[in-house]
Structure 1
Amino acid sequence: MTLARSDALAPQPWTDVFTDDTCIDRRKCQRTVPMKVLALGVGRTGTASLRIALERLGYLRCYHMMCASVENPPDCLMWHDALAAKYDGEGKFGREEWDQILGDCQAVCDWPACAFAKELIEAYPNAKVILTTRDVDSWHASVMKTVHWRATDPEHRMASKVSWAAGMYYPMLNKFFDTFFRGDFPNQGKEVYKDHIEEVRSLVPSDRLLEYKITDGWGPLCEFLGEEVPEAAFPSGNDMANFKKRCSTRNRRQMLNAALQACTMGGALLLTGVAGMMIFNRYTIR
């Protein structure tokens, strides 16, 4: 069955010069490396730091929400398809599709991947599973100030109306919150968090599961994965203090892309109009 959103990928405007987004069509990709690690804790449990840590340990590319939100926005279309398949029964999303979107990755973490714990564990039964956790109250407060704010940010919504990239990311992000968090993160988020932890525990044999707090550092992570502990300090990424600043900066750059595209189109229309008048004058005015 055709996946309407990812099959409808629009070309990236050449005027997108204020951002560094790529336009890779994952529907044309396939698996090139084995999937080794599924980090299925929800976002804001240290997943950005874990991504850096896994890549430093030599795992070739760890997929994170930022891969879709700020690196290759067309991925959002496939994630939207995956959410529609799981929660709405629309289309198919199985091992073939996971290999398309995650084919060059040996690890995956963060959201929206966490919404597909069961599906990813079934797709990659030999991968080890990490469940990042933190105090539920501090986690909920962190999400409210960061990713939930991003999903409800009026400036982001405005950018999504005119920006090629935001037009793919904003709908997917809201689809994620509407489905995984039952459409009411402020009131349902904590319960979903607890239910998710119990679900992952029920899906994975204990010898293949590491319940992990990012503050534990390299020790338990490297022991679980069978890796040597690096000499460098454990990484820290995606801190809350700079989250809004980074997002607002991206909003404005996307709006600049859209403004440049509008100016270019306006200029082209003006030139077309002038050329038309010149041709008209040439053949009608003697």
Structure 2
Amino acid sequence: MDKPKRNKPAKVLHLSMPRTGSVSMMAAYNILGLTTYHGFDFIVRPDDQVEWENAIDAKFYGKGRLFEREDFDALLGEFLSDFPMVWVMLNLLDPYVMRARPATLIVKMEYGMSNCSDRESFEINARETYRNHYEMVRRKVPKERLLEYKLGSAWDPLCGSGV
């Protein structure tokens, strides 16, 4: 079965790590007319959770085929995506809630990204995981296409970037 294709190019890739102001950025993107796919969407879309689990298993646990651009285009459609809420879930939610599928997938993804298998090693690896992620983004994104937005910088950096 053919996967649907994105019918308009993505204008923005939001590549920040969780708990770095993603709800505020989502609100700003929405004001600018960009449709966002946020962790809130992930929670209420159970079919997406299956696809995310396939992507997580392939990327971090060597199970299945790695997702390619077409797979993410089919999953995200016209959305601008980030994947927030992980630190809230890990630290604040009741352990019973953490057994729900969205929560377990987020923990699985975070443990894979942080190269760990329990909460203690996750907390130890968190800062290095963040630093490594941002270093990778800076290496891969051409400088003329990269905006490192600092919360509180108002609208100029976002609106002046051609969005």
Question: Into which bin does the TM-score normalised by the smaller protein fall?
Answer: 0.7 to 0.9
Bigger helix fraction: 1
1:98 alignment counterpart? 72
- For 2:108, give the aligned amino acid: K
Aligned residues: 157
Offset of 1:190 from its aligned partner?
0.7
Structure of larger gyration radius: 1
Offset of 1:29 from its aligned partner?
4.7
- For 2:152, give the aligned amino acid: T
2:114 alignment counterpart? 181
- For 2:95, give the aligned amino acid: P
2:18 alignment counterpart? 43
TM-score, normalised relative to structure 1: 0.50
Instruction: Say if 2:38 is the partner of 1:64.
Output: yes
Offset of 1:111 from its aligned partner?
4.1
CA contact (8 A) 1:31 1:99 kept: yes
SS in structure 1 of the partner of residue 18 of structure 2: coil
SS in structure 1 of the partner of residue 152 of structure 2: helix
Residue by residue over 1:121-163, the C-alpha shift from the partner in whole angstroms, topping out at 9 and shown as x without a partner, is xxxxxxxxxxxxxxxxxxxxx93xx23225x731214xx4xxx
2:150 alignment counterpart? 213
CA contact (8 A) 2:114 2:122 kept: yes
Which sections of structure 2, spanning at least 5 residues, go unmatched? none
Offset of 1:191 from its aligned partner?
0.9
- For 2:83, give the aligned amino acid: D
Offset of 1:88 from its aligned partner?
2.2
CA contact (8 A) 2:5 2:77 kept: yes
Instruction: Say if 2:137 is the partner of 1:194.
Output: no
CA contact (8 A) 1:181 1:192 kept: yes
CA contact (8 A) 2:19 2:84 kept: no
2: distance between equivalents of 1:216 and 1:109? 20
TM-score, normalised relative to structure 2: 0.85
Q: Aligned-residue CA RMSD in angstroms?
A: 2.3
Which of structure 1's runs of 4+ aligned residues deviate more than 3 A? Answer: 27-30
Offset of 1:185 from its aligned partner?
2.1
2: distance between equivalents of 1:64 and 1:191? 24
Residue by residue over 1:59-92, the C-alpha shift from the partner in whole angstroms, topping out at 9 and shown as x without a partner, is 2x111121102x3132122111111111222222
Residue by residue over 1:176-216, the C-alpha shift from the partner in whole angstroms, topping out at 9 and shown as x without a partner, is 12101222221110111111111110011100000111211
1:74 alignment counterpart? 47
